Amino acid sequence: MAEEKAVAQNTEGEVPDFAAMPDPIQFSDAAVDAVKGLLDEEKKKNPDVNLMLRIFVQGGGCSGFQYGFEFVEKAEDDDTRIVKGDVTFLVDSMSYQYLVGASVDFKDDLDGKQFVIKNPNATTTCGCGSSFNV
């Protein structure tokens, strides 16, 4: 007897095209370009390195949670990968619940160069833009 595979279906019995679904976290072209530039700088120092950008949420900041960014060489088992062009973004499962639906942009203006996260899950944010509460 052949083993039956589980397939997700909607109520009409249609199989959804998960590849066509929007990413759970959106990244602007400016954010992707900024990360690509940083990755290119790292490649000049170490051509053999293959880095990905981890975006995470941790306790702290003036509103309870704060965002963090770090380059890593290896993804963890619970990471969600989002690939945009030549850039791979990673989000761990704990952070994912706080970041789903968010958009990440990069701004270069009078305030300086910075990544900006617009997060619909945040009920309050602080003036610095790097901490929030849910």
Q: What angle do CA 119, 75, 123 make, to 5 degrees?
A: 15
* Helices vs strands, H then E, count in the chain: 2, 9
Cβ-contact 51, 73 below 8 angstroms: yes
27 is in an annotated binding site: no
Of 101, 103, 100, which is closest to residue 118 (Cα–Cα)? 103
Cβ-contact 23, 85 below 8 angstroms: no
Strand partners, 53: 71, 89
62 is in an annotated binding site: yes
Q: Which residues contribute to the annotated binding site? A: 62, 126, 128
Q: Which residues contribute to the annotated binding site for iron-sulfur cluster? A: 62, 126, 128
